[in-house]
C-alpha cells in the first residue's frame, strides 16, 4: 500500500466511525437539537427554555443548532444515502418557524444557522421554504449592520449598551449568507455589507503581529474603532485559538469570493501564526499562548476549523505553496482521527472529544461540541469527495456543476 492509499484508507475509516455516530444520533435526536456541548462526553438534548414558543427540551435556539443538520448534509455527500438527505431536510421547518417567528434572532450567527440548514437545503432539494427562510435570515442579519462603522454587531439586542458596536472574529463565517443573498436576489446591499465588515476586521481585529483579537468595539455613533478585548481567550492581548482558526477560514472565503488580495494576505497571516504555534501533535491548546508542558486543555474544534480553513486557503495558492497548507491540514485531521475521535456509535456521542467552548466561564471544557463535530466531518469530506462543493461558497468552483 502506498502512503497515499494508506491515508485514503485511514480517512475513510475515520469517516465511517463518524457516520456510525451520526446514525446513532439521528435515532436519538430526530428533529430535536442537542446541547452546544457534551456533558461528560455525551450530548444531552438542548435544555428547555420557558421563554420560547417551543418549551420542550431540544428546541431550536442558540447559535449551534445548524451544525447538526449540517452534519446530516455532509453524511449525504459522503454516502449518497437519501436517508441523510431526508433527515437533514426535515429540519427546514424548524428554521422557518424560528426566523419567521422571531425566535432568538439577536445574533450575527444567523449565518452559521441558515447557511448550513436552509441555503444547503435549497441548493440540494430546491425547497422554497428553505430559500425563503434563508433570505429572511439574511434580512435579519442586515438589521445588525451599523453605519457609519460598517460592521455587523455580533451579540445581543441592538439597544444593549454593553454590546452596541461590538463585533467578533467568528462573524467572518456569517458573511457567506449575505453573499449568497446577493447572488440569489441580485440586491448588492448584502454583499457590500459583507465586504465592508470583512475589511473592518482585516484592519482592526487582525493585529500587526498577525494575532487576532476575539472581539473589537466601534463607537456606534461616530463609527470610530475603539478597542479590542477578549471574551473566550486567555487575555485581551492573547490569541484565542478558535478565533485565529475562524480568521484563517473566514478571510480565505472572503478572498475566494471577492478576489481581494488583502483578504488573502489576512488569511495567510492568520494561518502562518497558527501553524507556528502548534503543539507536537498538531492539535492546539485553547489559546495560542499555551504551549506543550502547560498542562492546558486542547481545543479539538479549533484544529477542525483550521483544517478546513487551510484547505480553503490552499485552493487559492499556486501548487507547492498550496500543498504546504494542505499538508498542515492533513496532519491536523490525522491527529484528530487518531487521538481525539471516540469509538462512537452510541446515542449522544460526539464525533470529537476534547474541545473547549468557553474556558473563562468554565463552559464546555474538555468536552465535545457541535461545531467541532461539524468541521471535523467537513474536513474529512474535503479530503474524501473530490470536487465537493462547500456550503460556504457562493461563486461556483471552477468546473463545478450546481
Question: Rounded to the nearest whole angstrom, what is the least distance from the CB of residue 113 to ligand GLY in the complex?
Answer: 11
Kind plus residue range of the DSSP H or E element containing 331: helix 319-339
Q: Which residue is nearest to ligand GLY (CB)?
A: 170
Determine whether 210 is an active site residue: no
> Considering CB under 6 A, how many residues would be counted as binding ligand GLY?
4
Q: Which residues of 230-268 are buried (b: 16+ CB within 10 A; e: fewer)?
A: bbbbbeeebbbbbbbbbbbbbbbbbbbbbebeebbebbb
> Which residue in 331, 169, 167 sits closest to 240, CA to CA?
169
345 Rama sector, left if φ>0, alpha if ψ -120 to 50, beta otherwise: left
Can you tell me the distance from the alpha carbon of 299 to that of 291, in angstroms, rounded to the nearest whole number? 12
CB closer to ligand GLY, 144 vs 242: 242
How far is 145 from 165, CA to CA, in rounded Å?
Answer: 9
The residue from 23, 170, 195, 366 that is catalytic is: 170
Reply yes or no on whether 219 is catalytic: no
Q: Specify whether the CB–CB gap between 346 and 355 falls below 8 A.
A: no
Please state the separation of Cα 154 from the chain's center in Å: 15
**CB of 357: closest distance to ligand GLY in angstroms?**
6
| Smallest separation (angstroms) from ligand GLY to the CB of 128 | 29
With respect to ligand GLY, which residue has the nearer C-beta, 202 or 242?
242
Q: Does 242 bind ligand GLY (CB under 6 A)?
A: yes
Of 19 and 137, CB closest to ligand GLY: 137
- Of 120 and 301, which has the nearer Cβ to ligand GLY? 301
Query: Residue 177, Cβ neighbours under 10 Å: how many?
Result: 28
Subset of residues 323 to 362 that bind ligand GLY, contact rule: CB under 6 A: 357
Query: Pick the catalytic residue: 23, 109, 299, 311?
Result: 109
Of 2 and 362, CB closest to ligand GLY: 362
What is the nearest approach in angstroms of ligand GLY to the Cβ of residue 293?
26
**Residue 179, interface with ligand GLY (CB under 6 A)?**
no
- Least Cβ distance, residue 242 to ligand GLY (angstroms): 5
Q: To the nearest 10°, the Cα dihedral for 73, 376, 62, 30?
A: 50
| Residue from the set 23, 104, 170, 334 that interacts with ligand GLY by CB under 6 A | 170
Enumerate the active-site residues.
109, 170
What residue ranges bind ligand GLY (CB under 6 A)?
170, 232, 242, 357
Amino acid at each position: 500500500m502506498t502512503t497515499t492509499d494508506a491515508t485514503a484508507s485511514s480517512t475513510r475509516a475515520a469517516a465511517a466511525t463518524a457516520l456510525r455516530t451520526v446514525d446513532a444520533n439521528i435515532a436519538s435526536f430526530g428533529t430535536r437539537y442537542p446541547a452546544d456541548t457534551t456533558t461528560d462526553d455525551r450530548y444531552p438534548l438542548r435544555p428547555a427554555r420557558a421563554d420560547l414558543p417551543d418549551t420542550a427540551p431540544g428546541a431550536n435556539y442558540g447559535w449551534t443548532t445548524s451544525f447538526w443538520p449540517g452534519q446530516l448534509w455532509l453524511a449525504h455527500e459522503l454516502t449518497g444515502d437519501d436517508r441523510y438527505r431526508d433527515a437533514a431536510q426535515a429540519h427546514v421547518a424548524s428554521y422557518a418557524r424560528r426566523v419567521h417567528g422571531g425566535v432568538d434572532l439577536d445574533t450575527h450567527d444567523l449565518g452559521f444557522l441558515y447557511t448550513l440548514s436552509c441555503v444547503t437545503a435549497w441548493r440540494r432539494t430546491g425547497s422554497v421554504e428553505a430559500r425563503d427562510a434563508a433570505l429572511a435570515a439574511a434580512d435579519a442579519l442586515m438589521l445588525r449592520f451599523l453605519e457609519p462603522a460598517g460592521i455587523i454587531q455580533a451579540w445581543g439586542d441592538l439597544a444593549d449598551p454593553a454590546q452596541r458596536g461590538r463585533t467578533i472574529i467568528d462573524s467572518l463565517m456569517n458573511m457567506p449568507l449575505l453573499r449568497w443573498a446577493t447572488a440569489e436576489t441580485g440586491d448588492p446591499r448584502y454583499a457590500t455589507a459583507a465586504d465592508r465588515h470583512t475589511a473592518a476586521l482585516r484592519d482592526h481585529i487582525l493585529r500587526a503581529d498577525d494575532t487576532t483579537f476575539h472581539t473589537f468595539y466601534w463607537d456606534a455613533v461616530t463609527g470610530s474603532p475603539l478597542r479590542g478585548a477578549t471574551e473566550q481567550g486567555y487575555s485581551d492581548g492573547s490569541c484565542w485559538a478558535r478565533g485565529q482558526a475562524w480568521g484563517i477560514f473566514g478571510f480565505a472565503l472572503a478572498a475566494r469570493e471577492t478576489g481581494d488580495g488583502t483578504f488573502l494576505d489576512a488569511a495567510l497571516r492568520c494561518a502562518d501564526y497558527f501553524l507556528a504555534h502548534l503543539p507536537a501533535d498538531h492539535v492546539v491548546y485553547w489559546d495560542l499562548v499555551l504551549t506543550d508542558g502547560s498542562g492546558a486543555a486542547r481545543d479539538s474544534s479549533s484544529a477542525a476549523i483550521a483544517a478546513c480553513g487551510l484547505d480553503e486557503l490552499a485552493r487559492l495558492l499556486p501548487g507547492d505553496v498550496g500543498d504546504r497548507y494542505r499538508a498542515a491540514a492533513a496532519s491536523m485531521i490525522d491527529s484528530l482521527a487518531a487521538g481525539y475521535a471516540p469509538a462512537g456509535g452510541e446515542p449522544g456521542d460526539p464525533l470529537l472529544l476534547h474541545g473547549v467552548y468557553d474556558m473563562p466561564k468554565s463552559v464546555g471544557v474538555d468536552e465535545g461540541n457541535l461545531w467541532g463535530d461539524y468541521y471535523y466531518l467537513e474536513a474529512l469530506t474535503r479530503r474524501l469527495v473530490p470536487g465537493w462543493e462547500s456550503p460556504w461558497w457562493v461563486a461556483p468552483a471552477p468546473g463545478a456543476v450546481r
